[in-house]
Structure 1
Amino acid sequence: MASPQPFHSQKLPGEYFRYKGVPFPVGLYSPESISLAENTQDVRDDDIFIVTYPKSGTTWMIEIICLILKEGDPSWIRSVPIWERAPWCETIVGAFSLPDQYSPRLMSSHLPIQIFTKAFFSSKAKVIYMGRNPRDVVVSLYHYSKIAGQLKDPGTPDQFLRDFLKGEVQFGSWFDHIKGWLRMQGKDNFLFITYEELQQDLQGSVERICGFLGRPLGKEALGSVVAHSTFGAMKANTMSNYTLLPPSLLDHRRGAFLRKGVCGDWKNHFTVAQSEAFDRVYRKQMWGMPTFPWDEDPEEDASPDPEPSLEPNTSLEPEPRPNSSPSPSPGQASEPPHPRP
């Protein structure tokens, strides 16, 4: 496959434009690149699309599927940058503008369903949609926005939370995004899986993904997929942890792209007032929707510590990144929204 060069070295403006009402960061996307992704006829029946809202486990899912496609052999994930293994559909240099791609193609997207590639819906191509507790998404996206050169400064935690709940962040409303894609539930070519399910049972989740893709693995290959897709393994892999990106795109001094890789971190950051405000909107927006794994966690009902975090330089600020190189840990993998989100 041709080697895409999707990232520019210059400082990006940190401004957004709208495409059919959805906000996108300037510099990595353009109306033309999104229109190409939406209207292309270049969809193959064996294409595999990974679709997520930003900071919902995209990098984790890419790593897992890359390993599945190679039957557990880690050579590919150790030698090719992640954005080349699963290019983005909607970036300025996107998957549909790249020639000579192998089959099956693995592609990534954050697009909401209403502007997703139209040709997909009349094809046999497959979508794996990965969801995540939106409270954890808020925290992860806030941290990411502090180090990503292409995104607006998120402002204070309160400001960012208000923007998130109104859908005034990159790729728009989390609520609309997940509700839109869940209309695909029950289709043979659609799999919905959550970050929380992968955290709770990585091997079982990998087996489920293998079944959906029609690619069963033997015991040894399955074990290799699981071992190489843990958070520690990904954080130590320079082809997957985005340390290859220049500081103009990711300020590695202010934080790591793969930060924690845990569920429930929101409880370390939300104040009581923020949690209550979020819950009011969540209950209204998700009324009538099925129960999600994050709704079933009994700890999710516990009130977070009432720490003040409404001013800048508070608990939502990115943690300083250690100077030492990251080492593998047994923890399980997290998401990284990619270099662009």
Structure 2
Amino acid sequence: MAARLGRPLVEVAGVPLPASTVDNWSQIHNFEAKPDDLLICTYPKSGTTWIQEIVDMIEQDGDEMKCQRSIIQLRHPFIEWAQPPQPSARNAKDCMVSYYHFQRMNKKLPDPGTWEEYFETFVNGKVAWGSWFDHVRGWWDMRDRYQVLFLFYEDIKRDPKQEIQKVMQFMGKNLEEAVLDKIVQQTSFEKMKENPLVNRSTVPKSHMDLTVSSFMRKGTVGDWKNYFTVAQNERFEEIYREKMKGTSICFCLEL
């Protein structure tokens, strides 16, 4: 097996970050958004690519050809490497499982080790981009103070049309019903998994090894039950209660 290229994570203000992000930190720190900028703010493996593609299709009025102009990373670049925030959250258990497999195949990140080891890394907030609890709670607490549209991964899975309508309205767009239905169909997990412009199949194997795990793996709600032991679930619930104490946020854990 080829050696991993991943460099150790580097802490910035207490948050573990990939070295490539830290290299550009002054640029990130000094970034000033324009009034009409739209920021998609998701914790890793919580629907980032999904929301990017939904937003792009809305921006392009459902025109598939315009959405094929380049890979999603160029159409909606990450601020780390390069209108108001639009956070998207996914329940932490499924997020952890998905992130584990993502880190297994992503050679730019440290080796996650075994599932048991990764469980400890995740609940202690030592994964790349920091604590799920801090990220989700931070955005949830700001949702009423700023112009923020807070979305849940599980809600988009349950009723994609309703949630895409929310995004459309938030963006100030008014698309016809037929266009909305087209966007729902084109941004389904099945469609996107086949789409080389979003499924990372164009990324060099030296960066992402899709033979280890596909970038778009399952896209389901409840897969955590195939990984968490009873003891891990009990411990996680205890940590969750402590970290999220006093917040009104509520997640769906299975559909």
Question: Does the 8 Å contact 1:16/1:24 carry over to 2?
Answer: yes
Aligned counterparts of 1:215 and 1:34: Cα–Cα separation in 2: 34
Q: Report the CA distance between 1:90 and its aligned residue.
A: 1.1
Q: Report the CA distance between 1:188 and its aligned residue.
A: 5.2
Aligned counterparts of 1:284 and 1:83: Cα–Cα separation in 2: 36
| Counterpart among 79, 89, 110 of residue 79 in structure 2 | 89
Structure 2 residue runs without a partner (length 5+): none
1:23 and 2:13 correspond:
no
| 1:220-240 C-alpha deviation (Å, 9 max, x unpaired) | 110111110000110111000
Could you tell me the TM-score, scaled by structure 2's length?
0.95
Question: Does the 8 Å contact 2:6/2:111 carry over to 1?
Answer: no
| Counterpart among 23, 40, 60 of residue 31 in structure 2 | 40
Structure 2 counterpart of 1:17, which letter? Answer: V
Question: Does the 8 Å contact 1:145/1:153 carry over to 2?
Answer: yes
Structure 2 counterpart of 1:35, which letter? Answer: S
Moved over 4 A (4+): none
The equivalent residue for 1:227 is 185
- Give the structure with the larger helix fraction: 2
Q: Report the CA distance between 1:38 and its aligned residue.
A: 2.1
Structure 1 counterpart of 2:105, which letter? Answer: I
Question: Does the 8 Å contact 1:78/1:237 carry over to 2?
Answer: no
Q: Report the CA distance between 1:78 and its aligned residue.
A: 2.5
Structure 1 residue runs without a partner (length 5+): 1-9, 95-124, 301-341
| 1:138-185 C-alpha deviation (Å, 9 max, x unpaired) | 100111111100111111111111111111110111111111112221
The equivalent residue for 1:260 is 218
Aligned counterparts of 1:143 and 1:166: Cα–Cα separation in 2: 18
Q: Secondary structure at the match of 1:40?
A: coil
Between the aligned residues of both structures, percent identity stands at 36
Question: Does the 8 Å contact 2:8/2:18 carry over to 1?
Answer: yes
CA RMSD of aligned residues (A): 1.6
1:59-74 aligned at under 5 Å gives the runs 59-74=49-64
Aligned counterparts of 2:148 and 2:106: Cα–Cα separation in 1: 31
| 1:69-116 C-alpha deviation (Å, 9 max, x unpaired) | 01111113323101001101112xx1xxxxxxxxxxxxxxxxxxxxxx
Question: Does the 8 Å contact 2:124/2:131 carry over to 1?
Answer: yes
Aligned counterparts of 2:58 and 2:146: Cα–Cα separation in 1: 19
Could you tell me the TM-score, scaled by structure 1's length?
0.71
Question: Does the 8 Å contact 1:66/1:76 carry over to 2?
Answer: no
Aligned counterparts of 1:11 and 1:270: Cα–Cα separation in 2: 27
1:193 and 2:186 correspond:
no
